[in-house]
Amino acid sequence: MIPLSWYLILGAMLFFIGVVGVLTKRNPIVIFMCIEMMLNAVNLTLVALGRYLGHAGGQMIALFAMAVAAAEVAVGLGILIRIFRSRENINVDEINVLQG
């Protein structure tokens, strides 16, 4: 059987790639995608730990994380559309005031 640590290392590497993406990208949609990637990496870690510890909680929490991610994407993209309507520009460097 595949050792647990391989899954954990893979999850950590995916998470760090997502961190680099969030820190370097200028387009908020791509930043969102990198956040999804990080959530996905954590889900992989949870499922692997749940499997190897024989605990159902890992898969359950991963399932809830997916639901939360779906809600987050819907609201986040709604906010982006709203910002784009008022600014015609969604470069994260230029969205620096909260007031619309």
Partner 1 sequence: MIATLFDALFKGPGLLFFAFAFGALATATLVVISKNPVRAALFLVLNLFCVAVLYLLLSAFFLAAVQVIVYAGAIMVLFLFVIMLLNLGTPEKARERLKFQVPAAVGAALMLALIVAWAIATSTPVSVGPVALPADTPASGDAMGTPEGIGRTLYNPSLPWLLPFEVTSILLLVATVGAVVLAKRSNAEEVKP
Binding to partner 1, residues 29-58 (CB under 8 A): 29-30, 32-34, 36-37, 40, 43-44, 47-48, 50-56
Helix (H) / strand (E) containing 84: helix 57-87
**What sign results for the dihedral spanned by CA atoms 2, 7, 43, 34?**
negative
Binding of partner 1 at residue 87 (CB under 8 A)? Answer: no
Binding of partner 1 at residue 67 (CB under 8 A)? Answer: yes
DSSP code string of 26-69: --HHHHHHHHHHHHHHHHHHHHHHHHHHT-THHHHHHHHHHHHH
Interface positions with partner 1 (CB under 8 A): 1-2, 6-8, 10, 12-14, 16-21, 23-27, 29-30, 32-34, 36-37, 40, 43-44, 47-48, 50-56, 59-60, 62-64, 66-75, 77-82, 84-85, 90, 93
